[in-house]
Amino acid sequence: MKISLGSDHAGFRLRTALITALQAQGHELIDRGPANEASVDYPDFAQAVAADISSGAAQFGVLVCSTGIGISIAANKVPGIRAALVANEDAAEFSRRHNDANIICFGQKYTTPEMAAKYLEIFLRTPFEGGRHSRRIGKLEHPAC
């Protein structure tokens, strides 16, 4: 599976831990950075990962900032992106099963590398259920207002 990852400086350590875990599982990765913990702007990295997903260069994305909030908001501005901030196993599963999320977001401040790896594993293995959820996803892509 091809996965694109990015973070800001406040998510650097968790992103690098997830890169190690994903490489050990044999996934092909696109690392959008940053290269270190020097201050950067999270929208730049959210947009780079979201572009990888929307263009088909990667199947899924992983984004990390301090809380996960800003980076998920930034990613969701890109058409076709459904970025979900995940903080537990249930959210990891249902972000895929019901929402067909294509980017998982974490807050380094609240999520250990072990927790994030577990949530990411659940996210990647859970299929989209379709059915009534497809209609709802369509409304996200093409709102009536």
Q: Which CATH class is domain 2-141?
A: alpha beta
List residues with catalytic annotation: 65, 98
Q: What is the pLDDT of residue 139?
A: 79
* Average pLDDT rounded to a whole number, residues 22-36: 98
Domain ranges of the chain: 2-141
pLDDT one-digit tens code per residue, 52-88: 999 999 999 999 999 999 999 999 999 999 999 999 9
Q: Are 107 and 87 in contact (CB under 8 A)?
A: yes
pLDDT one-digit tens code per residue, 116-140: 999 999 999 999 887 888 888 887 8
Closest CA relative to residue 94, chosen from 65, 136, 141:
136
